[in-house]
Amino acid sequence: MSDLIPTPRLNLRDFTPARVSLPKTGHSIVTTEVLNFQLAHAEARDAVHASFDLPAFERRLRDELPTLAEASIPVLQLQTNAPSRAAYLRQPILGRTLHPDSVAQLQPASPNLATDLAIVIADGLSALAIEHNAIPLLAHLLPQLLAAGWTIAPLTLVQQGRVGIGDPIGFHLGASLSLVLIGERPGLSSPDSLGAYLTWHPHPDRTDADRNCLSNIRDGGLSSKIAADRLLWYLQAARTRQITGTSLKEGSVELQATVTSAETNSANKV
């Protein structure tokens, strides 16, 4: 009689939407799974090529985020140097630089007008992610920032934008920090995943190593409320340390102590 104990077979599909433990019939994957894969692939392609309708999204912002009007935060529509979606996908550099007309839109706000934060919303590789997740995230984040006394630059909407577009926008707006909310590259189970990138002292010379990122903000991923709370922590830490990027790490005991001390001092002054 054998002493071997059989290993229970786990259904990994109960723990992840990833395509693991696919059922088979003979040597082939069952037809349902093949069709689901083709549907997911089509949804990912649609997300990449979807158009970001700036006027319609600005109307949604004003309707669904009354905080903007209450705090007198303007909304600006900007364009990068990418003349089309095809050019944007083939030449990423075009999505990181502002069209001259858009630079001119920012000029009146720049001279001697320092603000704490510039919030940039860009389509990136999934306008669907912006449509689904940007407003719920801001609905949690903006009231907390304003209650803590943060000054917010005009909120900017960017078509054909990459992560780096936050650098020239934040620089021209004279903001201490930039926060870019952008559609991430769609996966086969997440065509609407939102990313948030934070940069201290945004400038065109900044690199990706100068940023912090929260990823996978969506239903089924990082919820809007949890993402807003974590972003608020990062923003406060960045302002306290005057740094973002590889040196700013969540969970650092030293950093946590510094932020807590700064918050306590601020509360005592009030």
User: Which residues fall in the annotated binding site?
Assistant: 163, 184, 213
Known binding-site residue numbers for adenosylcob(III)alamin? 163, 184, 213
Q: Which residues have C-beta within 8 Å of that of residue 52, sequence separation ≥ 6? A: 122, 123, 127, 130, 157, 159
Q: Which of 215, 236, 211 is nearest to 227 (CA)?
A: 215
CA distances from 187 to 3, 47, 103, 216, 263 (A): 44, 10, 33, 10, 39
Per-residue burial over 91-119, b if 16 or more Cβ lie within 10 Å, else e, is eeebbbbbbeebeebbeebeeeeebbbbb
Two structure tokens written together for 184: 């991430």
